[in-house]
Structures are given as structure tokens and as C-alpha cells.
Chain A
Amino acid sequence: MLLSCYVFPHQSARVLELHLLSSPSFLHHGDTHVMDNTDIHCVPNTLMIVGLASMGINYFASRICQDALDPGRFPRWKTFLKPYFGCSVFFTTLMLISVILSYAMKGSLETSLKIGLKNGIRFYKDTDTPGRCFQKQTIDHLQMEFQCCGNNDYKDWFEVQWISNRYLDFSSKEVKDCIKSNVDGRYLVDGVPFSCCNPSSPRPCIQYKITNNTAHYNYDHQTEELNIFIRGCREALVNYYMGLMNTIGAVVLSVFLLQSSVLASVRLLQTSMEAVAGQENVEIETEGYLLEKGVKETFMEYVDPVLKLLLLNQVTPPEAKPEAGATGTTTTTS
């Protein structure tokens, strides 16, 4: 049967998906330091669970297919098939939901990156505070790798003191003036860290006094584009993750379609084999179907018991109340 040789390459697709998702590149471990909350982790976690589950689903599907070739061996799967289909449908819909979720969470990803980067820039100088001592290294690596500077753009560095007080000479006039001129007593400079420097610039990097054209020879900061990275890191990171999500989304959707068709085929196989069971002549024609009744009827069939359970809860209290009322009145009279 062509079904069994159809399922085996599906197994390999499944393994590939699992490898893709469990690879650490999906969520850079270092990037989690610049994310405020990690709700977005539910997407790769779900995908990994679904990948593992569908490995199991496809393995059983291939076993069922193999046994379907022998009408004598097929009946032993009878009791297993109903829960199997229930689980498979659940995990397949979960796959679809996770893809939709990954696009829906873009907003939350952006917000958490915004807050995380803001904190990262604020704590850049705190290399002696435990818990924050690696912020500098993380932000520097991030800016160099994604070719970005600051949160929205490089001007974010002008609003934060990113040079630690340990390295400022408070006895010098220049430092004292700078601190006095600032309301909060912070040492703000119109300079950026070295990791904002663009290697493609034709001139050596200008990090300090960026807005001051006279401080550097032959320099106009309005027209100088290649000196430091213009892009903000939030935009760079969101683009990177969205690109990744698009690729993974496309792959997961195609796997979802493949999986659904496998499940539909196994269902058809099951129903057509059921008609053959117990027959003397196994070469007769039988019909296979996906659902015994229509979609609406099948849905009502499953939902009715649940509704009855809920309604039953509502019916019994009103019955108990008049009885309680009756016993109450009888006690008062006696």
C-alpha cells in the first residue's frame, strides 16, 4: 500500500522539525537577558511538544498501515484507534494554534524587548553589581552581532550615564562641570560605546562628541551615515525573530497539512477495514468515510453528554429547594 511508503518520509520530516526547533538558535540564550518577560517561550515549547507527539503519531500510523495489509492482524488495533484519533486531532490542532500564536505574540515580544533593552542600557555601567555585571558584555555583543545601536536609535545612549563613576576623575574640572550641569547629577556625554561602531566606515570610528562637528576634522554628523550603526536594536531584534518565525511558520504549516492528510488517510483505512472484518471474502469492496454522520451531528453527539452534565447540575438545586422549604414549614408548624 502506498500509504506506508508515504508515512516513512513523513517520519524524517518530523525528525527534521524537532531538530530545527530544539536548536538553541531559535531563542538566543543571551537574548533572554534583554527580554523582560519570557511568555514568548511558550511558542517553541509547544512546537517541541507537538514535534515529539507527532513522531509518536506517525510511528503508530505506519504500524497500523503495515498491519492493515493483513486482515487477520488488523482487529487488534480496534480499541486503540479511537483514543489515538482523539490525541492526534488534538496535537494537530495544537500545531496550527502554535503557528497562529507565534504571529499573535509579536506585540508582546516587541514590548518585552523594549523594556529589556532599556534596562540593559541603564545597567550597562554596573559591571561591579552582582546580577548585572554581564549586562555590558551582553549589550556589546548584541550591538556588534545585529549591527544596531541603542533601543530606538543611538541617541538613547546620550540620555543614560553609561560610564561608571569608578572611572570618572571627580577632581577634574571637566567632570565636575558636566555633573553640575545635569539635574540628577549624572555624567552624560554625547558619545556611544565602541560596539556601536560600524566596521564599514572609511574613517576610524568617532564615538565621543558625535554631535560636535568642530571636534573632528572634516566631519558633519548630519551627513555621516557609516560611522556608527543608525538602526535601533529593538527593530533589529524584532526583524530577526519575525524572519525566523516566518520560516518556521511555513515549515510547520506544510507539516500540518502533511500530518492532516496522513490522519485522514488512516481514518479512511480504518473505516474501510472495519467493514471487511468478520467477512469470509476479504477481496470485497467496502466504503470508507471520515465521519459516520455529518460534522454537526458528530459535534452534537460529543457535546450533548457535556451539556447534560451541566444542565443536570442546574436542575437538581431547584428540586432540593422546595423540599427544604417544605421541611422548614413543617418544623415551624409543629
Chain B
Amino acid sequence: MALMKVKFDLKKRVKLAQMLWLMYWFSIMAGVLVFSMGLFFKIELRKRSELMDNNESHFVPNILIGVGLLACFLSASGGKICYDSLDSTKFVKWKSIVKPFLICCLFFNILLIVTAAMCFAMRIPLEFTLAEGLKNGMKYYKDTDTPGRCYMKRTLDLMQMEFRCCGNNNYKDWFEIQWVSNRYLDFSSKGVKDRISSNVDGKYLMDGVPFSCCNPSSPRPCIQQQITNNSAHYSYDHYTEELNIWKRGCRDALVSYYGGMMNTIGILVLMVTLLHIAVMIGLQYVNTSLSTLVNPEDPESESEGWILEKTVKETFTDIMAKMKAMGKGNQVDEGANEEAAATVS
């Protein structure tokens, strides 16, 4: 008893092949889309690689790029098979390849589902990477004279302005590190000496943030220095002042940005998977309908098409039996070799 048997005449076969050919064109474009999404994601990660920990993995975008290319290739081959199926003479050369091709497609679809799952799951390692990377980035903010770190200040400033965030968890992170370089501190002045001596590690800490934390929507000019000191500024209460500097932490901002991107890509990959499953089923119908012609000489005869020759259960047991037979075959060979070896020696 075959799975989902359908009767085909010539007209129906031709229509199926044409529709399938069109769908293969769509799946080529979908493959290109997945490839470009992978590329875009890779570029975005590269752009901010300074803010990420050293062991950031480009695994997911690489997989997306590979899957996109593979999808294009498989769809192009499938389309060619479809195109040739309308002409029975051309289809003969494809007959032996179609079955392994369909099995490849099946494995490819499983790969697509796994890729989509990975896209959704990548958020978690990314969060850890960003937390570590931002912490280091802020530490090296002042080192604009150290080779290898001289652009950290610029990167952080531009990032804080673009993502409207301040610090790692929030703006108070800036109070705990020295972000003003010693080159610009007057060590002969009393104020600087007092501050440094009051700190255990001899760091110049202050309750101030860099200018890139300033919020342009604030009605008053930005207060960056002495943020927690209400008396230092006229008509200022730092508990109620919401618009002065950005409240959000950069880790949250970046994770939600990348998370949103990955969710979109994951959903797109799932939709591409559905498309590929549909074309795979279509190709199976084309293949089976062409191989079961009632009268093999007459191309206009009727035929039947199905997804699986037997039911799911029977197909499964068949596959298991085949695999066991292959395994036993190896054992029998080995037994024969042993006997041959015994007889020789």
C-alpha cells in the first residue's frame, strides 16, 4: 500500500513538471537569500569583533553561507531534472541518479532544520562573549597610545552613540574604571593627587562618563561629570533626571540587536526548509509517475505517483533490514577470509 498515491495522465504530469520547475527557480532565489543573510551576519559580527571576546565563533554564519550555496546547487540540479522529465528521451539519463539525489535532498532538509535551530540558540553564547568583550573594551578605553588598542575609544564611542547605550550593564560601570589616560592628568595638582591616593589601586576614578553616553533628546546641556553630585549642578536631581544620559547597558542593546537579526534569519531558514520539502515531494512524484507508465512506449499513457512505495512502517523496517544485511555481509566476508587464511596456513 503506497503512501499518498495519485493517478497521472500526460496533462497532469506536464503541469506538475512545469510547476515544479517554477518552484525550483524560487528555491534557487531562496538559496541566494540564505547565502546573503549568512554573509551579512558574518560582516556584522566582523564589524564589532573588537567588542567581542577573542573566541567568538563564526560557526553559524559559515554554516548559513555553506547551506545557501548547497541549496542553490541542489535546486539547479533539481530544476534541470524537472525540465528534462518532460522529454522521455532526456529523462532516461537521469533515471539512475534521481533516487540518490532525493536521499541527498532529505539529508539537506534535516541540515536546514538544524541550522535554523542553531540560529535561535546562538543568542546564549553571544551574550557571554559580549559581556566579556565589553568589559575589556571599557578597560582599554584610555589606551589610545597602545598599538593594537588605539581604536578602542573610537569604537566604543561610536557604538554607544549608535546603539544609544552606556557602559556594560549600565552607566555606573564607567565609575569603576579609569577611563581618562594618565597622559592628560596633571599629577602636580592637588585634586588629582587626592583622588589617586584615596583609591586602593591608585586609579583615577570619577563619577563621570564619556561624552558618547549623552542623550541628544535631553532638554539641558549634557551633564557628564559629577553625575551623582546634585549640588554640583543647578536644578539637578540625578535620581529623577532620565533624559540626561542613556540608561540602557550596551550588552543588552547589542544582544537584542543581534538576537533580532538571528530570529529573522532563523524564521527565513525555516520557510526555505518548507519550500525545499515541497519540491522534494514534487520531484518524488515526477520520478515515480514517469517510472510507472502503463505502456512504456506510449508517453501519453496513464501512470501512478506516490511518495513512498510502501507505508512508512514497512519502509522503515526495510531500511533496517538492509542495514543489518550490510552489516552481516561484512561479517560473512570476514568469516570467509578467516577460513581462507586458515586453509592457506
Residues on A lying within 8 angstroms of B by beta carbon are 127-128, 133, 136-137, 140-141, 144, 162-164, 166-169, 172, 193-195, 197, 199-205, 207, 216-218
Contacts of A205 on B, CB cut-off 8 Å? 210-211
Contacts of B179 on A, CB cut-off 8 Å? 204
Asked if B75 lies at the interface with its beta carbon under 8 angstroms from chain A, I say no
Contacts of B145 on A, CB cut-off 8 Å? 202
Asked if B76 lies at the interface with its beta carbon under 8 angstroms from chain A, I say no
Question: Which 6 pairs of residues, A with B, have the shortest CB-CB distance?
Answer: A140-B216, A199-B157, A202-B144, A127-B219, A217-B186, A169-B234
> In B218-274, which residues have CB < 8 Å from any A CB?
218-222, 224, 233-236
Asked if B217 lies at the interface with its beta carbon under 8 angstroms from chain A, I say yes
Residue of A nearest to B142 (CB): A204
Asked if B11 lies at the interface with its beta carbon under 8 angstroms from chain A, I say no
Please pick, from A141, A168, A216, the residue contacting B234 in the complex, using a CB distance under 8 A.
Answer: A168
Asked if B181 lies at the interface with its beta carbon under 8 angstroms from chain A, I say yes
Contacts of A200 on B, CB cut-off 8 Å? 154
Asked if B27 lies at the interface with its beta carbon under 8 angstroms from chain A, I say no
A222 to B: closest C-beta gap in Å: 17
A179 to B: closest C-beta gap in Å: 14
Contacts of B224 on A, CB cut-off 8 Å? 194
CA distance A268 to B161 in the complex (A): 59
Residues on B lying within 8 angstroms of A by beta carbon are 144-145, 150, 153-154, 157-158, 161, 179-181, 183-186, 189, 210-212, 214, 216-222, 224, 233-236
Q: Are B154 and A199 in contact (CB under 8 A)?
A: yes
Residue of A nearest to B210 (CB): A204
Contacts of A207 on B, CB cut-off 8 Å? 211
Q: Are A195 and B216 in contact (CB under 8 A)?
A: yes
B239 to A: closest C-beta gap in Å: 17
A47 to B: closest C-beta gap in Å: 30
Q: Are A167 and B222 in contact (CB under 8 A)?
A: no
B267 to A: closest C-beta gap in Å: 26
Contacts of B184 on A, CB cut-off 8 Å? 203-204, 216-218
CA distance A164 to B220 in the complex (A): 7
Q: Are B161 and A144 in contact (CB under 8 A)?
A: yes
CA distance A199 to B233 in the complex (A): 25
**Extra inter-chain contacts (15) besides given A169-B235, A202-B144, CB under 8 Å:** A127-B220, A141-B216, A163-B220, A164-B219, A167-B235, A168-B234, A193-B221, A197-B212, A199-B157, A199-B212, A201-B153, A202-B150, A203-B183, A204-B180, A204-B184
Contacts of A217 on B, CB cut-off 8 Å? 184-186, 189
CA distance A169 to B180 in the complex (A): 29
B178 to A: closest C-beta gap in Å: 11
Residue of B nearest to A134 (CB): B217
Q: Are A199 and B221 in contact (CB under 8 A)?
A: no
B158 to A: closest C-beta gap in Å: 5
A166-B220 contact, Cβ under 8 Å, with A199-B154, A199-B157: yes
The winner among B184, B212, B233 for most chain A CB atoms within 10 A is B184
Q: Are A203 and B220 in contact (CB under 8 A)?
A: no
CA distance A197 to B214 in the complex (A): 11
CA distance A172 to B235 in the complex (A): 13
A275 to B: closest C-beta gap in Å: 43
Contacts of A167 on B, CB cut-off 8 Å? 220-221, 233-236
CA distance A197 to B157 in the complex (A): 10
Q: Are A136 and B183 in contact (CB under 8 A)?
A: no
Q: Are B161 and A199 in contact (CB under 8 A)?
A: yes
B147 to A: closest C-beta gap in Å: 13
Residue of B nearest to A170 (CB): B234
A260 to B: closest C-beta gap in Å: 34
Contacts of A144 on B, CB cut-off 8 Å? 161, 216
Residue of A nearest to B179 (CB): A204
Q: Are B222 and A202 in contact (CB under 8 A)?
A: no
CA distance A216 to B183 in the complex (A): 12
B286 to A: closest C-beta gap in Å: 32
CA distance A210 to B183 in the complex (A): 18
Q: Are B216 and A137 in contact (CB under 8 A)?
A: yes
Residue of A nearest to B161 (CB): A144
A194-B211 contact, Cβ under 8 Å, with A202-B145, A203-B183, A218-B183: yes
CA distance A172 to B233 in the complex (A): 11
CA distance A200 to B180 in the complex (A): 15
Residue of A nearest to B189 (CB): A217
Q: Are B211 and A166 in contact (CB under 8 A)?
A: no
Contacts of B234 on A, CB cut-off 8 Å? 167-169, 172
Contacts of B161 on A, CB cut-off 8 Å? 144, 199
CA distance A166 to B212 in the complex (A): 24
Q: 14 A-B contacts, Cβ less than 8 Å apart?
A: A127-B219, A141-B216, A166-B220, A169-B234, A169-B235, A172-B234, A194-B224, A197-B212, A199-B212, A202-B144, A202-B181, A204-B211, A205-B211, A216-B184
A21 to B: closest C-beta gap in Å: 25
Q: Are A193 and B222 in contact (CB under 8 A)?
A: yes
CA distance A172 to B231 in the complex (A): 13
CA distance A218 to B188 in the complex (A): 12
Contacts of A133 on B, CB cut-off 8 Å? 219
Q: Are B211 and A197 in contact (CB under 8 A)?
A: yes
